[in-house]
Chains A and B, each alone.
Chain A
Amino acid sequence: MQAKRTTFPNKFLPYWLLVPQLAVTLIFFIWPAVQALKSSFEREDPFGFKTTFVWFENYRRLLVDPMYVGSLGRTAVFAFSVTALSMSLSLILAVAVNRVLRSNRAYTTLLVWPYAVAPVVVGILWWFMFNPTIGIAPYLLRGMGIAWNHRVDGNQAMIFVVMAASWKQISYNFLFFVAGLQSVPQSQIEAAAIDGAGPFKRFWTIVFPLLAPTTFFLLIVNINYAMFDTFGIIDATTQGGPAQATNILVYKVYTDGFLGLNIGSSSAQSVILMIIVIALTAIQFRYVERRIQY
């Protein structure tokens, strides 16, 4: 770090320059987070006439509620499946595009499109395709002898939302993988080829390890995406059903708080979510730091 140190003539100027950013952070992030923390210790009627401080009652009830614990488990399954599916598919696509000599720009552009689609629109597209009554997919599946009805079958519903959520994320992962692949030194791959390593061997022993930083970054981003950014998809497709089979944590916060008007419990749930995000982010930073030193 040999960059020239800038000094300000006015002692307060740097603080003034920071004010807009700090104000945005305080008003839109810190203040609501504190509000959520506060109401997570309270029981309140929807209109806010009677507020009772109940200590950890909201948390205690959540942790003994089989529905909540079930939702935690489902969120884990969902996040893991979405991450695994979208990352493996996008890696395959990226490797394929990397090998295409002509018009790989065109493929790249086409593959990035889904990322521009809003989650709720993704949800509606998939809702149409897989609608048990009017959808094309159940119609085709019936032809293959599979009775598709994610309105009733919880496993099918989970598969369905995992597909929809992964589809949306493939473009994002794909872009990073393509960039990562381009930074793999061609000379090492050629050297391995001269030594007689086949394409698979080359991929697993050279390309994949060199992609590790990208893969790890994407892993964290994808888990975060699956856990917190898929609200729109769930809302437009299954609304958490059937029988809570796809009711992931972030959706449960919404149903309990906004539909159920149970503000205390909903706040406690968002505080728990906040803790999970903080933990995930901490892991990411530690790891990324280590990679930089490496």
Chain B
Amino acid sequence: MLSNSAKLGTRKSQHNNNKGVSMSKKVLCLSVGLTAMLAATPAFAQTEIAWWHAMDAQLGEKLQEIATGFNESQSEFKVIPTYKGTYPETLTAAIAAFRANEQPAIVQVFEVGTGTMMAAKGAVYPVYQLMADNGEPWDPSGFLAPVTGYYSDVDGNILSMPFNSSTPIMYYNKDLFEKAGLDRETPPKTWAELETMSRQIVESGAASCGLSSAWITWIQTENLSAIHDQPFGTLDNGFGGLATEFNFNGPVQVKHWDNLKKWADEGLFQYGGPVGGADSAPKFYAQECAIFMNSSAGRAGVIANSKEFEVGFAPLPYYDDEIAEPKNSIIGGATLWALNGKDPEVYKGVAQFFTYLSEPEIQAGWHQFTGYLPITNAAYELGQSQDYYAQNPGSDVAIEQITRGTPTANSKGVRFGNLTQARNVVDEEFEAMLAGSKTAQEALDSAVERGNQILRDFEAANQ
């Protein structure tokens, strides 16, 4: 009963929140209506656009700044951003609200939720259609190719508005490299180099570990597969339909997990926990580990926490005996989805807001402040003309890594339903391997098998 009431409590509070919004909206509408009747001047009535997001701390403030900028640029609409917790919490809140018919007009959904959102055809208002219906300019070719590729449906239409996209990169401690007798300006290019360098760092006593990594699933499995042109799932990594199956238990992935286990036993690699790997960043900041892999959006945090040493930025390493020219890395981050069930007037505002968001100045400002990728070519070019990349060494590592070469079916991205659950399974199997109860092959085989069960559930629920 307790668990049940706890569950109810969460639902209830969400419901109450929504109620609060709708109540105030109703009151507002009522008062607006009355005023309109009395004075017949409804012009001041701003249409409110609710925007639920998952950006906290500095990112949240910057997001608020963007909304304020839009609100001040015109008088017809007012975008109201609301922080809804983590990405999964925001998604769950939006879904619960949708079921209660209290959904926001815009919700920020992380890349892992893309499959879920795309399958929910009746719930979303595809952005390309939204822009066309409201006569706003819409040019998909203005976006960076990997971004368009990741968020398009099978017909090539972009369904959600790209907002904050990132890709994993490597951060390293230049001072520790020097202390270990390595060249401070030469980060490892391949995994073999990373291994030797880590060993030298640990053996020389410069630091107690070489490498720590956030996001084992996203960085050491999904991106590893893309960079080495290895499939993650059948049917073009799930882009081809719901019948897709995982197959990331191939030789390259097994080799890499094997290595991570070997390095963990030797003390060269330290595990930072499941999902985002919350413990890995402190290991890097405290100079316990000399190398750290994380999202490019971690840049601001890394710079803020590395006052006592100098940080270097580099692309992710690769296995040069597996691939000569590493492929592009893939996207993480989130996009903005317009949800169905609002007034046409609201969508007009949403469309205008999206146009505002894609302006090069806004995009470049967001990108340079946060470390997320510039989403449009224009924003990237603006940064170049501002000399931003020259003045901030390493700030272009992410964009160069994600745009290198021609994307293949394996490096275009991944699209799976219930990917949050599947990623939990991958984390669990990785932990089982680290604990020594499974080999890399066994762990990956089991992750694939359990993951496929999750995909079948999703397929069954969405057919």
Contact = CB atoms under 8 A, between A and B. Distances in A.
Contacts of B64: none
B3 interface: yes
Contacts of B41: none
Interface string B267-288: 0001111110001001100101
Nearest to A48: B99
B122 A133 contact: no
B461 A44 contact: yes
Contact of A261 (B10, B92, B264, B279): B92
A107 interface: no
A259 B420 contact: yes
Contact of A258 (B88, B429, B457): B88
A49 B120 contact: yes
Contacts of B123: 47, 49
Interface string B221-245: 0000000000000000000000000
30 contacts: A28-B5, A32-B4, A32-B5, A32-B7, A32-B8, A33-B4, A50-B462, A131-B279, A133-B272, A133-B279, A133-B283, A151-B272, A152-B271, A228-B2, A228-B3, A241-B273, A242-B428, A242-B435, A243-B431, A243-B437, A250-B2, A256-B421, A257-B7, A258-B88, A259-B424, A261-B116, A261-B420, A262-B421, A270-B3, A273-B4
Interface in A118-144: 131-134
Interface in A225-252: 228-229, 231, 239, 241-244, 249-250
Interface residues of B, number: 52
A220 B312 CA distance: 57
Interface residues of A, number: 47
Given A243-B431, A259-B88, A43 B1 contact: no
Contacts, number: 132
A36 interface: yes
B119 interface: yes
A255 interface: yes
A10 B5 CA distance: 35
A260 interface: yes
Contact of A274 (B1, B91, B271): B1
Contact of B286 (A33, A134, A256): A134
B388 interface: no
A46 B109 CA distance: 14
A260 B3 contact: no
Interface string B444-462: 0000000000100100111
B260 to A, nearest CB: 12
A45 interface: yes
